[in-house]
Amino acid sequence: MPTSTFDNLPEDKRQRILDAAVDEFADHAYHRASVGRIVQRAGIPKGSLYQYFADKKDLYRYVLQLGLEQKLAYAAGLRDGSVADRGFLSTMRAFLAAGLQMARDHPRLSAIADSLMRDGDLRAEILGEFAPQGYRVIEEMLERGIAAGEIEPAIDVPLVARLIMSMTFALADQVRERSGSYTDESLVSLYDEMLAILAHGISRRD
């Protein structure tokens, strides 16, 4: 994550560096991305970048963190419970839809996330670091559902949150393999099927 030296830079210079990093990681993915091209795009000496970030991966993590914060901002009202009379399932659907909308609105950040999801080793490393934030978001929604009497209070909240997260990743992978994109509209219908299973289970209903 950035040093205090980076935090103390003028805002326009910080943004120029971040824009250069986003463009480079979007165009070339992590392993093929070049620090040299980033500093050239940003118009700064190469040595300066290492005053701001420990290395390329540190910068990459920061870009991903900003992307996650952007995604959470799209769903801020859903997280804090300010959307009245919205149950867990509809909140979860809206949360997933907000993530897709964010990806469409920010295609460069979406391209970075897409390349990350295609890289097995890097994906395991990075998602292992970021997963707790995602789990907590889902746990908060589950806890509100329990408090509202909508969800069975005996469930293991952390376990269910992890199951939901795993299912969303699996569905996104399925859509990418079929369409080449994590933002294909068909993902919405798959999310609906997933939420129906969460609501009713897989037992036969007469």
Asked whether the predicted pLDDT for residue 129 surpasses 60, the reply is: yes
Asked whether the predicted pLDDT for residue 59 surpasses 60, the reply is: yes
- Say if CB 92 and CB 193 are below 8 A apart: no
- Say if CB 85 and CB 40 are below 8 A apart: no
Asked whether the predicted pLDDT for residue 201 surpasses 80, the reply is: yes
What rounded mean pLDDT belongs to the chain? 86
Domains in the chain: ranges and CATH: 1-54 (1.10.10.60), 70-200 (1.10.357)
pTM over 0.75: yes
Using pLDDT thresholds of 50, 70 and 90, give the confidence band for residue 91.
confident
Retrieve residue 91's tokens.
């909140």
The Cα 8–Cα 3 span in angstroms is 9
3-class DSSP state for residue 192? helix
Task: Supply φ then ψ for residue 29, to 5 degrees.
Answer: 60, 170
The Cα 44–Cα 56 span in angstroms is 15
Q: Averaged over 60-82, what is the pLDDT? A: 79
* pLDDT number for residue 33: 95
Asked whether the predicted pLDDT for residue 15 surpasses 90, the reply is: yes
- Say if CB 28 and CB 56 are below 8 A apart: no
The Cα 113–Cα 182 span in angstroms is 9
* pLDDT number for residue 84: 42
The Cα 99–Cα 143 span in angstroms is 21
Closest C-alpha to 19, from 117, 108, 103, 105: 108
- Say if CB 190 and CB 174 are below 8 A apart: yes
Task: Supply φ then ψ for residue 111, to 5 degrees.
Answer: -65, -40
Alpha-helical segments (H) within 148-184: 157-179
Could you read off the pLDDT of 133-168 as tens digits, one per residue? 889 989 988 998 898 888 999 999 999 999 999 998
The winner for highest mean pLDDT among 45-49, 68-72, 73-77, 101-105 is: 45-49
Distance of CA 29 to the CA centre of its chain: 16
Q: What share of the chain is helix, strand, coil (3-state, %, to 5)?
A: 80, 0, 20
